[in-house]
Amino acid sequence: MFTIRKATSADADKIVKLAHQTWWPTYSEILSTEQISYMLSAIYLSDKVADQIATHSQVYVILEEDGEPVAFASYSVREEDTEVYKLQKLYCHPTTQGKGYGKALINYVVDVVQQAGKKTLDLNVNRGNNAKAFYEKMGFAVAYEEDIPIGPYWMNDYVMRKLL
């Protein structure tokens, strides 16, 4: 049994812990150890996540299995186009993959977007990430490629889009 709830600033440490538990198995075959370490330290600091939640720059949701956080997602309105929402993050603990939690989180965000009267949800996925096939099954299609500098590294991504 699982539940999905909006995260509060008090959940920042839980989100950071889940990020560290998911990033290593997710990216170790496609990114260097140095890049993973750098990106985790740049993106997933408890204070930074708590600030994003407090200022509503990203809305975080946590999926709990039997009361324990095992997955999270975040979303926001796209800065460049307020008609489009962006799924900023989606990570499920490796031991829970295949249980439908990623699908449940995407469906949660889709509901939010539709309730806001919007019709487009975008996300970025690393071009080497096997999750691309999952996103395609969820109705996303590659819209374009994007290379984003993160410190001395690059995120080489597909931008995928789902029309609602």
Q: What is the CATH number of the domain that holds 50?
A: 3.40.630.30
CA angle (59 as vertex; 73, 139 as ends), nearest 5: 45
Q: Are 32 and 128 in contact (CB under 8 A)?
A: no
pLDDT for 79 equals 87
Residue 57 carries which DSSP code? S
Predicted confidence (pLDDT) per residue in 83-140, tens digit: 999 999 999 999 998 999 999 999 999 999 999 999 999 999 999 999 999 999 999 9
Q: Are 40 and 20 in contact (CB under 8 A)?
A: yes
Query: Within 10 Å of residue 134's Cβ, how many Cβ atoms?
Result: 16
Is pTM, for the whole model, over 0.75?
Answer: yes
Q: Could you give the number of structural domains in the chain?
A: 1
pLDDT for 80 equals 87
What residue numbers bound the domain in which 66 lies?
2-163
Q: Is 124 helix (H, G, I), strand (E, B) or coil?
A: strand
Average pLDDT, the chain: 97
